[in-house]
Amino acid sequence: MTSIRSPQHLGAALRTARKQLGLTQPRLALAAGVGVRFIVDLEAGKPTLRLENVLRVIDALGGELQLSGLPSAAAEDQQPGSDHGA
């Protein structure tokens, strides 16, 4: 598992995965349903990209996003009066 602490770390990890899979940026963009410019920006560590599209790229690479060190969503759902909007 790769620990990601910044947009630059995420971009570098996804670039490495893409290259290991033998994909070009245009092929990954096509597989993820995003533009090539999005892939370029993502791999460069641009911090203001749309999360939905980042997740599509991760999925196209065969990965998944996991959060560690946070309470699970199930634990929050069991708390009386939990505020989902906060």
Domain boundaries in the chain? 7-60
% the chain with pLDDT above 90: 72
Question: Please, is 12 exposed, middle or buried when counting C-beta atoms within 10 Å of its C-beta (0-12, 13-18, 19+)?
Answer: middle
Is residue 4 very low, low, confident or very high in pLDDT (cuts 50, 70, 90)?
Answer: very high
Dump pLDDT digits (tens) for 22-51: 999 999 999 999 999 999 999 999 999 999
| C-alpha span between 56 and 38 (Å, rounded) | 11
Is residue 81 very low, low, confident or very high in pLDDT (cuts 50, 70, 90)?
Answer: low
Q: How high is the pLDDT of residue 28?
A: 98
CATH superfamily of 7-60: lambda repressor-like DNA-binding domains (1.10.260.40)
Q: Name the CA radius of gyration of the chain, rounded.
A: 16
| C-alpha span between 27 and 21 (Å, rounded) | 11
pTM of the model: 0.81
Is residue 86 very low, low, confident or very high in pLDDT (cuts 50, 70, 90)?
Answer: low
**What are the φ/ψ torsions at residue 14 (nearest 5 degrees)?**
-70, -35
